[in-house]
A and B are shown apart, each in its own frame.
Chain A
Amino acid sequence: MMPDIACGRLTESQLERNFSDAHPGLTRDQAALEAERCFYCHDAPCIEACPTGIDIPRFIKAIAVDNPGGAARIILDANILGGSCARVCPTEILCEQRCVHTAIESGRPVRIGALQRHATDWQMEQDDHPFTRGEPTGKRIAVVGAGPAGLACAHRLAMRGHEVVVFDRHERPGGLNQYGVAAYKLADDFAQREVDFLMAIGGIRFEAGCSLGRDITLASLRNAYDAVFLALGLGGVRALGLDNAQNPSVIDAVAFIEALRSAPYRQARVGRRVVVIGGGNTAIDAAVQARLLGAEEVTLVYRRGTESMSATPEERDWARVNDVTIRVWARPDRLLIENGTLRGVSFLRGRPGPDGAPLYDPEAGFVLEADMVLKAIGQSLLPLSPEGEMPRVQDGRIVVTQGGRTTLPGVYAGGDCTIGADLTVVAVRDGRDAAESIHAALAGAVRNNGQDPDGKGAGSHG
């Protein structure tokens, strides 16, 4: 018997509605009113909470005085992917969490993300790109991975006058913005539009379908370029550790999302009853999008209590709003498979043990019927190709120091493939900072060569 996994469970118009912008942009009036709420704090706590350190009160003030172009410039100066960050950042644990308004009334911060979107949307509707490419330095840099980290690095390098080639194994640039983040957060092909906007600075070439370790090697890149930035993200997935986990109905959540984001929604396949295993935002995104594709029952099961979930309360509410059932303190024990067809998952109930670690009761359990299991139990770094010298990897991440330096000279890394929170905005910061550190190193090299004694050429503009 075939498992009940199918596409086209909903009509075209239902799908269109389900995957439209989850939180449409503010109108000009709404933005002006919201901007006026900002106290224009000095040394504002929200700035500290933004990984890219956007001068938030200043851009909000600019919106309040009807200067959207100025507002956008302030945002994009710090964060060239300010448009997607405005849409995907979990602001409730970043800038908005620290907004002083929450000290007056909890849960009522200034809507920083929405305002950021307002300003960046305005900018993207203009014809011009607000930054100019720096005077050519003659230096060439290879960026591997066209996700937020790679793109932010490339743009900053272009601003500094360097020539950049961005390689990616995917056909479209954008990384998880293109293939991973929930569709309704980046509706209307925003990821592609933002890449087009960013590339408009000039000096950046995109090499699609080019995989490091398969089509190119690190050694060749180091040879051909003045520096290399690795922004590979986390391509691997953790194993479930259950028998028969390779059953075709047991699918990695990231792959499920990638599939639905890579083709028209009517072609995306989903089960009638879906079980999602995991407690992070990927689990939530997979569960919600399974519902939006027409799954009738979606249950998200997490092995510990709600408070330990890395999905924020806002994300959990979003799941509930979309009729996802969340069950906690349960661990998958067995996949129930009949003649190769997935029928369900049996779980063991757990509770917090004396040392905090969960204890599962082998006697007490329950079964959830399912024709599809989505596992969202974390991603991992794909092994770097073995041939040649490789940067040091520790705990599954590339080791970097200040400015994204790896253990190999001239090789930098940032974003999800390095240590730090796996967030778009953190990846943008890593890319930006690595670009500055590459730029400083190259400018230093120019000076040391005595070619540019007064420092006017490479590296001093921008």
Chain B
Amino acid sequence: MADLGIDFAGIRAPNPFWLASAPPTDKEYNVRRAFEAGWGGVVWKTLGEDPPVVNLSSRYGGLAYGGRRLMGLNNIELISDRPLATNIAEIKRVKRAYPDRALVVSLMVPCEESRWQAILPLIEETGADGIELNFGCPHGMSERNMGAAIGQVPDYVEMVTRWCRQNTRMPVIVKLTPNVTDILQPARAARKGGADAVSLINTVQSVIGVDLDVMAPMPVVDGKGTHGGYCGPGVKPIALRMVGEIARDPAMHGIPISGMGGIGSWRDAAEFLAMGAGSLQICTAAMHYGFRIVEDLIDGLSRWMDGKEYGAVRDVTGRAVSRYVPWNALNMNFRTLARIDADRCIGCGLCHIACEDTSHQAIARQDDNGRRTYEVIGESCVGCNLCAHVCPVSDCITMEPQPCTHELTWPYHPSNPNRIVA
């Protein structure tokens, strides 16, 4: 059986599945239930200074798609709304009760060194395994010059990270906001400031929908709405890219990355690991289905690792990073052609109309004694694979790689006016 245990920037956990700093980790009651369910660690809901913030009602907006609820979740919640002392006492008790689990505490205080110097010893005293700096909250807190207001300015990221690094023994994880044009800027700044690890992504600024009766963005709070932070399955592609971007950056080489954003299944988890994550954080999937999902995450990941003969999580971490390259490094001589398996075809016509209207007119409809069949016109197919994506039957349309004699990339391509002549 694969070993799912991890050592992430010196923080040990029996498995890589941590609950992200959010409502599931808001208090002792939830966290105990999570650990009982089998979670490898938690990042406690972000603590701030007293007096605690005040939260609104309501707080969440949901994106439904194709009959599925919560394809995406958006929230306008702030950080922990409980007194600091209550949280500190609970953290201490929980860590003592579950010494083998990772317990990281998320923090957010105003941008003054003295404020950080004041809170860090309190956390250290709980026995927590590390801290995560919340530089990502994109709503509410940023209007108070915290959260994403720091995370979007690399100099501030570096400065605050350095204050923390210099004022605590605990590993410092910097949580990054995706609401930037270049994720590498704040990531590198964090490393310069001495971060032991980074975690990403925090939520994406969003308006999840508009209530067309009230004429206000959702969730509607007494007739008005505000933007919130978007997360859940819909953000996974954005998160995967950002994780990969950092993992392949020479300036970030070797830094532990805690990946999150839309993880809901073992496959999502494996993909984040492959793109460079060393630990995984989850929020929306747990909020959707409860803590029990961790059993499937663990079971699925370890079965897959066994099948692939990966002995440990670190064997998976970063496996795909060397193959995550810039567009210019892709082989332009490579061709695939769509092939339709007539036996599997159910005759829905979706491939035909997709290619006919929006691609390359490469799928012909034929009538085979009243049974409709579809055939790819090889000369017209550019191998875009749209047809394979719209086909509702798995493995009915496959993309067949064609023989390729040699590799040719854009820098060397004859059509490139600035080509490199060998």
Contact = CB atoms under 8 A, between A and B. Distances in A.
Q: Do A and B come together as binding partners? A: yes
A104 B372 CA distance: 16
A457 interface: no
B225 to A, nearest CB: 20
A96 to B, nearest CB: 14
Interface stretch (B2-10, B269-277, B345-353, B410-418): B345-353
A3 B330 CA distance: 90
A41 B66 contact: no
Contact of A103 (B346, B349, B350): B346
B51 interface: no
A42 interface: yes
Contacts of A44: 348-349
Q: Is chain B's interface secondary structure helix, strand, loop, or mixed overall?
A: loop
Nearest to A40: B350
B377 to A, nearest CB: 17
Contacts of A33: 67
Contacts of B353: 42-43
A36 B66 CA distance: 6
A103 B67 contact: no
A45 B350 contact: no
Interface string B383-417: 00000000011000000000000000000000000
Interface in B332-386: 346-350, 352-353, 365, 372
Interface in B303-351: 346-350
Contact of B350 (A35, A42, A104): A42
Interface in A28-65: 32-33, 35-36, 39-45, 64
A104 B67 contact: no
A153 to B, nearest CB: 31
A45 B346 CA distance: 10
A42 B372 CA distance: 12
Contacts of A212: none
Contacts of A100: 346-348
B365 to A, nearest CB: 8
A64 B65 CA distance: 10
Contacts of B365: 43
Contacts of A103: 346-347
B71 to A, nearest CB: 12
Contacts of B348: 39, 41-42, 44, 100
A29 to B, nearest CB: 10
B396 to A, nearest CB: 10
Interface in A14-39: 32-33, 35-36, 39
A182 to B, nearest CB: 32
Contacts of B372: 45
B67 A41 contact: no
B350 A36 contact: no
B347 A64 contact: no
A100 B372 CA distance: 11
A104 B393 contact: yes
A43 B346 CA distance: 13
Contact of B349 (A41, A64, A101): A41
Interface residues of A, number: 16
B349 A42 contact: yes
B254 to A, nearest CB: 46
Given A45-B372, A100-B346, A39 B392 contact: yes
A171 B349 CA distance: 48
Interface in A348-362: none
A35 B67 CA distance: 9
A41 B393 contact: no
Contacts of B392: 39
A444 B347 CA distance: 41
B67 A36 contact: yes
A52 B70 CA distance: 38
Nearest to B352: A42
B108 to A, nearest CB: 39
Interface string A274-316: 0000000000000000000000000000000000000000000
A43 B349 CA distance: 7
Contacts of A39: 348, 350, 392
Contact of B347 (A32, A35, A45): A45
A101 B349 CA distance: 13
A32 B66 CA distance: 9
A35 B346 CA distance: 18
Interface string A71-109: 000000000000000000000000000001101100000
Nearest to A101: B346
A458 to B, nearest CB: 38
Contacts of A41: 347-350
B55 to A, nearest CB: 30
A47 B149 CA distance: 56
Contacts of B349: 41-44
A104 B394 CA distance: 11
Interface string B62-84: 00001100000000000000000
Contacts of A35: 67
B219 to A, nearest CB: 19
A392 to B, nearest CB: 33
A101 B415 CA distance: 46
Nearest to B66: A36
Interface string A233-273: 00000000000000000000000000000000000000000
B248 to A, nearest CB: 38
Interface in A145-171: none
A260 B235 CA distance: 61
Contacts of A101: 346
A101 B392 CA distance: 10
A45 B67 CA distance: 23
A277 B417 CA distance: 85
A104 B352 contact: no
Nearest to B391: A39
A171 to B, nearest CB: 46
A36 B64 CA distance: 12
A100 B393 CA distance: 11
B375 to A, nearest CB: 15
Nearest to A32: B67
B419 to A, nearest CB: 42
A36 B393 CA distance: 16
A288 B392 CA distance: 40
A100 B344 CA distance: 11
Interface string B218-260: 0000000000000000000000000000000000000000000
A100 B396 CA distance: 14
A12 to B, nearest CB: 42
Contacts of A104: 346, 393
Nearest to A102: B346
Contact of A64 (B67, B346, B350, B352): B67
Given A36-B66, A100-B348, A101-B346, 4 more contacts: A39-B350, A41-B347, A42-B348, A103-B347
Interface of A: 32-33, 35-36, 39-45, 64, 100-101, 103-104
19 contacts: A32-B67, A39-B348, A39-B392, A40-B350, A41-B347, A41-B348, A41-B350, A42-B349, A42-B353, A44-B348, A44-B349, A45-B372, A64-B67, A100-B346, A100-B347, A100-B348, A101-B346, A103-B346, A103-B347
Q: Which 9 A-B pairs have the closest CB atoms?
A: A36-B67, A42-B349, A42-B353, A103-B346, A100-B346, A41-B348, A100-B348, A39-B348, A39-B392
